[in-house]
Chain A
Amino acid sequence: MSQDVYVVAEHFKGKLVEVTFELLGKGRELADARGENLIALLFGHGVKNLGAELGAADRVIVVEHPQLESFNPEAYSAALVEVVKTKRPAVTLVANSSMGMDLAASLSVGANLPLVAYAVDVKWEDGSLLATSQLYGGKLYVESQFVGAGVVVSLLAGASPADKGRTTRGLPQVEDFATPPLGGPKVRFKQLIEPEGGDVDITTQDVLVSVGRGIQSADNLPLVQALAEAVGGALASSRPIVDSKWLPRTRQVGKSGVKVKPKLYLAVGISGAPEHIEGMKDAELIIAINSDPNAPIFDYAHYGVVGDLFDIVPVLTERVKS
């Protein structure tokens, strides 16, 4: 059992993704608190060059194989389980991303390690790890303490600033790890499917009026559409609106939707689940209208209105127009 802290570096289309640096920042903190090493894990095919960007880590361990070319839940998990079983780190940090959701639990079962998910923070306290998770759609925080050692924690996006993980301590040493058997393959990657274009690109808009399940029915959408037009912006939405087929997928803001950073984000009838927050928390000005005074969206908005959107939106639209 080593005392090192391991971080799974996530990359997509040949580039490291933002959350990797957030993990590195948090990992650095955990390692420094005890004077231990931070190790970044890189799985892929022809990805060794990315190691140079992981300078916040002391070392980078690379597993390469054609089967790891694109993310694959089976092959990546097999590689991760083998490295962790061999090296036995004190902590392994994984992103609570689409890929990480497959990896963290597969690692936990494959290497028989305790797992806490949805973490917004993790720290040492009296020699033990303490993880704080955001649950119940962001309405409650839960602190977990661990029974076993060698824990796996999956971190929500935004849990730690990425800048910290970009601070390099020089070129890290990059070492190969012999590729273990990667399974089956019972899961075979076929292709990437890109979103259809042709709709408004909400990532380039200065003003977004974003609508959530509080709108109740597609018939009520013109109400928020009118507000969007009045303020000279575009209509965006939370996921359920898109899943209900009321708006095209291109309008979805959040974890699986797009990340937006408009000058104004007006959230109407959106609760502010962590998966939605991930996509809009960096907007310059966030104003939220919600009938529930405890809605988590108010923890991220700059200004909040507790009230019925059906009372407020039409009046606001009228006044903006005149």
Chain B
Amino acid sequence: MNFVVPIKQVPDLVEELELNEEGTDLSRDTVKYKINEFDDQALEEALQLKAEIGGAVTVLALDGEETDKMLFTAIAKGADRGIKLMGDFAGGVAMHAAAKAMAGAIAAIPYDLILTGVQAVDDRDGQLGALLAGYLGVPQVSVVTGVRVESGKAVVRKEYSGGVMAEFEVDLPAVLGIQAAREIPRYVAVSRVRQVMKSATLEEVEVHNAAGDEGSSVRRMMKPPKGSRAQMIQGSPEEIADKVIDLLKAKGLKK
């Protein structure tokens, strides 16, 4: 079975996010990147499926910040093939254009299951998985946390709210938006990634970042409005504790 996992670098939210002067984007040279956490989950699920039923895992990314390192890391974890889509993505890329570019590249390789992350923290214009499925003409289900493959079909669980899940049977090929893998995503040592960087090669595929697919554009980016900020409690841990206890007392939660 052929698994394809599109993966993406996103800004690490632990770091402070600074805006550019125009206030239209992040100040990109200050951003620290990491793999989108749900893509790590999608990759883990693909690797688990490969171990269970056999097959090959291809990771795929649009060329961008630290793309090579991310793809090599995925290979170090067990992916068989890394493909980098080359094009003019410097100014960011609209989701429809990204999905079209990926659909073109994926259509040219064997694929049965495409596992994307459920969402990326920085994409404002929609779910890539469903767009990709649309362009490939295959079914899709997102918000998935359990995948089995039985008699050539995927049996997947989609999460609703309140811990309720719906089970669907899906014909392959298909696109699934993965929320969480069955196991905690594996860790790989940096030394192992370095080894892979020396021995493995990434395939590069030229794609076209079609202009005219934007549909919408960013007018302004801003920090959350300050109006509703919490009242801050300051002091030593002991002073803080006492103030919190006062709040509990006032609320009738402590005598």
A residues near B, CB below 8 A? Answer: 12, 70-74, 77, 97-99, 101-102, 104-106, 108-110, 113-118, 130-131, 133-148, 151, 154, 183-184, 186-195, 206-207, 231-232, 243-245, 249-250, 252, 255-259, 263-264, 271, 284-288, 292, 294, 296, 298-307, 311-312, 315-316, 318-320
Partner of A186, one of B11, B164, B170: B170
Tell me the minimal C-beta distance from A290 to chain B in angstroms.
Answer: 10
Q: Interface centre among A186, A284, A316, by most B CB within 10 Å?
A: A186
Smallest Cβ-Cβ distance to A109: which chain B residue: B134
A residues less than 8 Å from B225 (CB atoms): 141
Q: Known: A106-B130, A301-B230. Is A143-B253 also a contact (CB below 8 A)?
A: no
B residues less than 8 Å from A146 (CB atoms): 215-216
* 22 A-B residue pairs with CB within 8 Å: A72-B168, A99-B160, A106-B130, A106-B140, A108-B126, A109-B96, A113-B215, A118-B124, A134-B224, A139-B17, A144-B219, A184-B139, A188-B168, A256-B179, A285-B247, A302-B230, A303-B230, A304-B230, A305-B240, A306-B232, A315-B241, A320-B241
B residues near A, CB below 8 A? Answer: 11, 13-14, 16-17, 19, 26, 41, 95-96, 99, 118-119, 121-131, 133-135, 138-143, 155, 157-171, 174, 177, 179-180, 184, 214-225, 228-233, 237-238, 240-242, 244-245, 247-248, 251, 253-254
B residues less than 8 Å from A320 (CB atoms): 241, 245, 248, 254
Partner of B135, one of A109, A154, A243: A109
Q: Are A190 and B167 in contact (CB under 8 A)?
A: yes
Complex Cα gap A141–B180 (Å): 26
Q: Known: A193-B165, A298-B229. Is A109-B13 also a contact (CB below 8 A)?
A: no
A residues less than 8 Å from B125 (CB atoms): 114-117, 144
Complex Cα gap A184–B39 (Å): 28
B residues less than 8 Å from A302 (CB atoms): 230-231
A sample of 20 more A-B contacts (CB under 8 A), given A116-B216, A292-B14, A304-B231, is A105-B126, A109-B133, A114-B125, A115-B95, A135-B124, A136-B122, A139-B13, A142-B220, A142-B221, A145-B217, A190-B167, A190-B168, A192-B164, A192-B167, A207-B253, A250-B163, A288-B230, A300-B228, A316-B237, A320-B245
Q: Are A316 and B241 in contact (CB under 8 A)?
A: yes
Complex Cα gap A260–B168 (Å): 28
Q: Known: A148-B215, A319-B241. Is A193-B13 also a contact (CB below 8 A)?
A: no
Partner of B222, one of A70, A141, A232: A141
Partner of B141, one of A134, A187, A194, A231: A187
Q: Are A264 and B248 in contact (CB under 8 A)?
A: yes
B residues less than 8 Å from A298 (CB atoms): 229-230, 232
Q: Are A12 and B122 in contact (CB under 8 A)?
A: no
Smallest Cβ-Cβ distance to A130: which chain B residue: B219
Smallest Cβ-Cβ distance to B130: which chain A residue: A105
Tell me the minimal C-beta distance from A103 to chain B in angstroms.
Answer: 8
Complex Cα gap A102–B168 (Å): 14
Give me the 4 closest cross-chain CB pairs, A-B, nearest first.
A114-B215, A109-B134, A195-B163, A105-B130
Tell me the minimal C-beta distance from A87 to chain B in angstroms.
Answer: 19
Q: Known: A144-B219, A284-B251. Is A312-B237 also a contact (CB below 8 A)?
A: yes
A residues less than 8 Å from B11 (CB atoms): 136
Tell me the minimal C-beta distance from B238 to chain A in angstroms.
Answer: 6
Partner of A257, one of B163, B168, B218: B163
B residues less than 8 Å from A134 (CB atoms): 224
Q: Are A186 and B139 in contact (CB under 8 A)?
A: yes
